[in-house]
Each structure stands twice: as structure tokens, then as C-alpha cells.
Amino acid sequence: MIALKTFKKGGVHPEENKISANSPIQKLAFPKQVVVPLGQNLGTPSKPLVKRGDEVKTGQLIAKGESFISANLHSPFTGKVLKIDDAIDSSGYRRPAIFIDVEEDEKWEEGIDTSETIIRDIKADKQTIIDKIKECGIVGLGGATFPTHVKLMIPDGRKAEYLIINGVECEPYLTSDHRLMLEKGEQLLIGIKILMKALAVERAIIGIENNKTDAINHLTELAKQYAGIDIQPLKVKYPQGGEKQLIKATVNREVPSGKLPIEVGCVVCNVGTAVAVYEAVQKNKPLIERVVTVTGKAVKKPSNFLVRIGTPVQMLIDAAEGLPENTGKIINGGPMMGKAITSLEVPVVKGSSGILLMKNEESKRGVPQTCIRCSKCTLACPMGLEPFLLAKLAKLSLHERAEKEKIMDCIECGSCQFTCPSNLPLLDFLRLGKNKVGQLIRSRK
Amino acid sequence: MNEVLMYALMTLVLLGTVSAVILYFVAQKFKVVEDPKIDLVDEVLPKANCGGCGFPGCRSFAEVLVKSANEKHSLEGLNCPVGGNNVMKEAAAILGLEVEEQEPLIAVIRCNGSKANSPAKVNYDGPSTCAFAHNLYAGEGGCQFGCLGLGDCVASCDFDAIHMNPETGLPEVNDKCVACGACVKACPRGIIELRPKGKKDRRIFVSCINQDKGGIAKKNCEVACIGCSKCFKVCPFEAITMNNNLAYIDPIKCKLCRKCVEVCPTNSIHEINFPVRKKKPETEEEIVETNKTMAVTHDTKQDSNIESQS
């Protein structure tokens, strides 16, 4: 038995509630019309290549990422471009998107292998892999949606030693990565091999929390045939899925403040991303679908769906047998970091990992009281920050001071707010402060 | 015993003298020559320290005034909105200059998306600050330009001039407003604008900043500007400009003729402090037709007034 590792600083242990863990990934029916937002990745939004009235095939490139940190976008369905207009995103703001009228009989773009056969032989060389990943619009599917090809381009003078694969899924309720590891284990391992080749690293470590023993056993069995890939079971602790926490837990290295993981010779990718990389490189299939968990205590049929990008959230909820009556909040993502959505018309995007339906009584916030200086938030912060102080500074608009106190190191995990006995909205103010300090830093350039 | 007393006294006297001499030279060396006018000007300023003039506090504004008078011999571009013309005249008199009369300004709220006009589609239960809510979501009514109603402007006001109306969920400005501009800066959506108070306090402005296309704007709010350009066409003074599906009335060009208020199909143009309109003689059939609905509401209002009076 391998000893369970974890990160040292802070962390909390919320109720796991992985109620959809045993429901296999199902394919979802096609919607009639989809909305594909142009800004699905971190960085600059993609630039549309199609215009109104164009016929598009499934997998056809419809928007191109032009700047350095940007990603390509492909049509998730066969159909006709209805218009390019603003559509509401999960926050209710209107952002540019491509509207597509879906046709029932599907035509795939040429050159895409849609068969189920697993191709184990990796023919592509390093540069081809990176180009392919860029072409297929792969972004980090853990939620941050950072373009993967940028991550694979190691800056001069640095060398990657480890590829760390994030199979932690520390957010309560969510099970999409868990199901993916169980059902697409082989594809995942080939994807990891491809990423290893692109990075020229010898070792890859898959970090999986100990509450997913079936996935750990399954992958350990499969990994015997793949040299250099280790499975590392980890102690259950939130936010272990954070990039910096995972590096600390698996290889015991600490990423310096304000630096990227490559500084300590690590590159971190999500399991979903690795599977997408497999499909892109081996099957030439662009990123047009992802696994989304639909869950919640009152949901009749908590499920995991393989969903095409652009499908409205309403359809996912219908497929999980409808909206429970006393739903108080619909959250895009998990309960710790996710944000409530304002409308069911919102489409699934590359970064959506789950839709959580919270009961009315669960979703209510406690009444905020004064800070009693108990320091629980400081102890819970996995980045070693002082959330009570940073929240106060953000509230008082003392942005320079907040910057000195390293507010930009905050990973917005919400451990502080979770642990606060006074129900203070710490994370909310930290997000506000981060936003303001970010503006301040950008204005200096 | 006497000797001890004498030595002590002598030492003290010596110490005192030496220190006095040192202090004298130090004072000469580090003398701060301050224009006495600064004190005089500072005296007449309102001491609100609101920053409405653009400088941190009244004292530094006094310094800037004196400096400007000494160097440029004019006070152009400098104004104390709190004190208004009287204070500026007094300050100018001290400096031996004259100032141009500035039209007093007042803050106007360019959103009428009250709870009735823009019903809530979602409920917000986060911290009550507009700055955060603005980053988080579009707003309860769904309008991404409209007032969030959490009162950052109220908190920013030092003059008790802006308050939330609990019925509409919108802030309201009262006569105490001195146009210091604190609320303008506090509003994350830029809804509040400083506009000239106008003759007899009469003002006309577009009470909406929604730049969405008409249909979308109207879907979220009954009284949104839908960018139909009717006001733009009817304005005889070219005071109205259309930009991004939104009308804007230039307060300097506007002659308060109220034609735009009549044609606006969504009632998003507001007139303030005007007398009640007389019933219109039906000469221009076109305008009357487009305004039929409005005319009806006016009539019913008047009727109800009469009823309540009787």
C-alpha cells in the first residue's frame, strides 16, 4: 500500500456528496438550436470565421484563436449559422456567440475518425502534437480553460520533469472526471503518453483522491502496460485539485508566489484534457464535447452526460428528469467554486464541469456577523494568505495594500468562506479585490 | 546649598541660550514661506473636503487656487462645486481676480429600472455592494446596464443627498446634492451623470443607458431606451445624439422644449420640475397617434387627481 500524500497548508473537508458517481456517462440528444460563445477560453476570445447563412459540418473550424493565449473553436453540430450576435452567458451578461440551427442528420468534417477503436500507436512527433492540440482547440477542462498548447510550449531555460495529471476532482458533488477515468481509462493513458512525448518528460503522475478507489485500481491495472505513468492515491482534502496544491501533494515542490508550475519543473493537466488530447492527436477530433455532471440532493436522476458544446443547460436538467420543485440555486460548477447561473438558456461551454441544483434551504446564506478574529480562515487558506484581512482591504478599496498582501495568489477555492463561523462573504470580497488589483496591475503596463 | 542651586540655574540658562541660538538658525534655514492668501482662501472654502474639485481636500484646493492666480493670473478650469459661484467669487476677490459664472450641476440617475419596470428574474443574496455584484452578474432584472440597487452611491455621499427608495429599489437624489461627483465614481455601471441644474431646476434627460438592441432592452425593462431614434428626429436643436442604440441629450444644446419626451414610446426620457402639461390641441395628427397610449395615461392621472381633490 502506497502512503497517502496530501498538501500541507490549510485545506478543508466539505461533505463529498458524490451521488452521481455510479451513473455511467450517457450521450445527450441533440438540441434544435445551439449557442456557441466565442470567449470559451482564458485569454482573448476567438474570432469568427463563418457568417450568417453558412452551412457548417460537425467539427468544422468556426472561430480562430488569433492571439498567443487563445483557442480555436469548432462547430459542435451540423447545421446552418443563424447569426453571430450577443448571447447571455452564465452571469447574465451578453457576450458574442455563434448561433447554429442544428440539422438532424450529422455530417462530420472530413478527416475526423469517429469510430470507437482505440489507436495505441503514437506516430506524431513533438511539434506535430502541439500543432494538432492547437488546431483542435484544446483547453484545460478542469475549469480554468487555459489553452493547452500554450502550456506545452516550455519557455527557454526551463525543463519539465514531471507531467502531473489532475484526477483529484476535489469539488464535492462533481463526478465527471471520475467517470471519465473509469470509462475511458485507456484513452486517458494514451493521452498522457502523447503529452509526455510533447513535453519530453519521463514520468507522469496521476493524482487521484482516495474516495475514488475504483478509479485508482482500474488505472493502476491499466498503467502496467504504460511505462512511466504512476498512480498516486491522495488523502481527501479540498482544494487538492488546485494546480499548486496538487504539485505539493504529488512531488512535494512549492511553486513560488506569482510563478507558473514550470518554475519547479511541473506541468499539470486535467484528466479530461488528456482524453481530449488523445482524441485530437489520434483521431483528429476537435474539442466539441465534454462530460458534465448534473447533480444535487433533490435531483431525481443524478447523471453524467457527454454533452456537445453549446447545448442549453435546460436540456441537461430535462435529461436528469427535470428541475426539482424547491430548487434555490442552479450552480455552474461545484458548490465551492461554482457560480450561480441566471438563466437556463445558458449553453454548456468548454469550462463547464457540472450543473448543481441546490435545494432552497441548502442554498441560503447565513446572516453575516462581525469578524471575531478566530483565524479559522487563515488556517484554512491553502495559499497561506489572510482572507479576513484581504476581504477587509478589498472592502475599503485599499488595492495597493492588498497587492502587497499577495491577494493575487488567491486561488478562489472558497475554503475561507466555508470555514468562517461568522458567515462572512470572504470569497466574494476576495474576488472583488482580485479583480480590482488585476485592473491596477494591467493599468501599469 | 546655595552653590548647588546656582550651578543648576546657570546650567539651565546656558542650555536655554544655546538651544535658542541653534533653533533660531534652524528656523531661518528651514523657513517655509507660505503665501498668506492660502489661509484667506482656505477660510472661505466650504471645508467639506469632498474632493469634488478634483483635489484632496479644501486646503490643497486653496493652494492650487493661489498657485494658479500667481502663475496664470486666472482661475480657469477650477471650480468648487460645493460652494458654487458665491464661494468662487469670494475666493477670486481675495486673489484680485474674477471668475466666470459656472452653471450649477446636479447628479441624475439614468436608470428607471425599478422593481415594477424591470421585474426580478433572479434573486441576489450576496454582499450588498454594487462593485461586487457588477463583477458577478447582470442584475436581478436581467439588464446588464441598469442599476443594481445595492447602494454604493448612497454610501459614497457625504452630503446626505442620495437615498435608496425601497419601493422602486432605485436611488433618488435630493436638493442637498452639491455635484461633488463621489457617486458618479462609486457607481460601477456609470449610471449617474452630473448635469446642469437647468433654469428653474428644469431638466430633461434620457433615464437609461442600455446599449442593447431594442427588443432585448425592452424584454428586460419596460422603460428602456430602445434606440428608435424618434427623439433624435423630432429634436429641433440637434441636441440628441444616437450611439449604440441609445439616445443622449446634450444638456447645453437642449432648450427644454419637451418634444422628445412626447415622442418617446417607452417613456424613457424624463422631464423634471415642469408644470403639468396642458391638454394638447390636436393639430399634428401623427404625433397624437403615436402618443395615444401616453395621452390616455395622462388623462387618467389628471382624472384621479381631480377625484382625490374632490
The ranges assigned to domains in chain A are 25-107+288-361, 126-283, 376-444
| Spatial contact of B139 and B210, defined as CB atoms under 8 Å apart | no
Cis-peptide into B36, omega within 30 deg: no
Could you give the count of Cα atoms lying within 13 Å of A333 in the half-sphere of its Cβ? Answer: 18
Q: Using a pLDDT cut of 70, give the percent of chain B over it.
A: 89
Q: Using a pLDDT cut of 90, give the percent of chain A over it.
A: 78
Could you say which DSSP state residue A80 is in?
A: E
Question: At the fourth CATH level, which superfamily is domain A126-283?
Answer: NADH-ubiquinone oxidoreductase 51kDa subunit (3.40.50.11540)
Alpha-carbon distance of A419 to A423, in angstroms, equals: 8
pLDDT bucket at A362, cuts 50 / 70 / 90:
confident
Pick A432's closest partner by Cβ from B125, B131, B142. B131
- Are B144 and A343 inside 8 Å of each other by CB? no
**A431 interaction partners in chain B (CB closer than 8 Å):** 132, 135-136
Alpha-carbon distance of A215 to A22, in angstroms, equals: 12
Q: How far is A354 from chain B (nearest CA, A)?
A: 19
Q: How far is B212 from chain A (nearest CA, A)?
A: 9
Alpha-carbon distance of A84 to A36, in angstroms, equals: 9
| Spatial contact of A313 and A346, defined as CB atoms under 8 Å apart | yes
| 3-state DSSP percent of chain A in helix, strand and coil, to 5 | 30, 20, 50
| Residues in contact with B3: Cβ distance below 8 Å, sequence separation at least 6, in sequence order | none
pLDDT bucket at A256, cuts 50 / 70 / 90:
very high
- Are B138 and A92 inside 8 Å of each other by CB? yes
At residue A71, the pLDDT reads 92
Residue B216 at interface with chain A, using a CB cutoff of 8 Å:
yes
At residue B288, the pLDDT reads 47
Other CB atoms within 10 Å distance of the CB of residue A304: 27
Which three three-digit cell numbers place residue B101?
459664472
Alpha-carbon distance of A276 to A444, in angstroms, equals: 37
Residue B168 at interface with chain A, using a CB cutoff of 8 Å:
no
pLDDT bucket at A398, cuts 50 / 70 / 90:
very high
Provide the mean pLDDT of chain B.
86
pLDDT of A377 above 50: yes
In total, chain B counts a number of residues equal to: 310
| Spatial contact of A49 and A73, defined as CB atoms under 8 Å apart | no
Q: List the one residue out of A143, A152, A251, A227 whose CA is nearest residue A195.
A: A152
At residue B289, the pLDDT reads 47
What would the pLDDT profile of A177-200 be if each residue is shown by its tens digit? 999 999 999 999 999 999 999 999
Q: How far, CA to CA in Å, does B217 sit from each of A168, B210, B221? A: 43, 7, 6
pLDDT of B290 above 70: no
Q: What is the mean pLDDT of residues B129-135?
A: 91
Residue A83 at interface with chain B, using a CB cutoff of 8 Å:
no
pLDDT bucket at B297, cuts 50 / 70 / 90:
very low
**B127 interaction partners in chain A (CB closer than 8 Å):** 368, 425, 428-429
Place of cell 518554475: A263
Name the maximum alpha-carbon separation found in chain A. Answer: 63
Chain B residue at shortest CA distance from A429: B132
What would the pLDDT profile of A119-170 be if each residue is shown by its tens digit? 998 888 999 999 999 999 999 998 889 999 999 999 888 899 999 999 999 9
| Spatial contact of A18 and A80, defined as CB atoms under 8 Å apart | no
pLDDT of B102 above 90: no
pLDDT of B292 above 60: no
At residue B35, the pLDDT reads 87
Which three three-digit cell numbers place residue A393?
482591504
Q: How far is A331 from chain B (nearest CA, A)?
A: 13
pLDDT bucket at B280, cuts 50 / 70 / 90:
low
At residue A391, the pLDDT reads 94
Alpha-carbon distance of A60 to A178, in angstroms, equals: 29
Pick B132's closest partner by Cβ from A340, A365, A429. A429
Q: What is the mean pLDDT of residues A322-351?
A: 91
What would the pLDDT profile of B148-171 be if each residue is shown by its tens digit? 999 999 999 999 999 999 999 999
pLDDT of B306 above 60: no
* Stretch among A308-317, B27-36, B107-116, B273-282 having the lowest mean pLDDT: B273-282
Q: What is the mean pLDDT of residues A308-324?
A: 92
pTM, two decimal places: 0.84
**A364 interaction partners in chain B (CB closer than 8 Å):** 125
Residue A371 at interface with chain B, using a CB cutoff of 8 Å:
no
At residue A194, the pLDDT reads 95
At residue B101, the pLDDT reads 85
Rg of the Cα atoms in chain A: 21
ipTM more than 0.90? no
Buried b / exposed e over B47-74, threshold 16 CB at 10 Å, is ebebbbbebebbbbbbbbbbebbeeeee
pLDDT of B300 above 80: no
What would the pLDDT profile of B205-251 be if each residue is shown by its tens digit? 999 999 999 999 999 999 999 999 999 999 999 999 999 999 999 99
Chain B residue at shortest CA distance from A90: B137
Alpha-carbon distance of A103 to A113, in angstroms, equals: 20
What would the pLDDT profile of B69-100 be if each residue is shown by its tens digit? 988 888 888 889 888 889 999 999 999 888 88
Q: How far, CA to CA in Å, does B189 sit from each of B118, B134, B211? A: 17, 8, 12
At residue B307, the pLDDT reads 39
Domains of chain B: 36-94 (1.10.15), 105-274 (3.30.70.20)
Per DSSP, the three-state class of B309 is helix
Higher per-residue confidence, A19 vs B285: A19
Per DSSP, the three-state class of B69 is helix
Pick B138's closest partner by Cβ from A93, A340, A395. A93
Which three three-digit cell numbers place residue B214?
431594442
Buried b / exposed e over B197-220, threshold 16 CB at 10 Å, is bbeeeebbbbbbbbebbbebbbeb
Under CATH, what is the fold of the domain A25-107+288-361?
Ubiquitin-like (UB roll) (3.10.20)
Beta bridge partners of residue A27, listed in sequence order: A306
What would the pLDDT profile of A79-130 be if each residue is shown by its tens digit? 999 999 999 888 889 999 999 999 988 899 988 988 888 999 888 899 999 9
Q: How many inter-chain contacts (A to B, CB under 8 Å) are there?
A: 51
Q: What is the mean pLDDT of residues A416-425?
A: 94
What would the pLDDT profile of B241-278 be if each residue is shown by its tens digit? 999 999 999 998 998 888 999 999 999 999 988 888 77
pLDDT bucket at A291, cuts 50 / 70 / 90:
very high
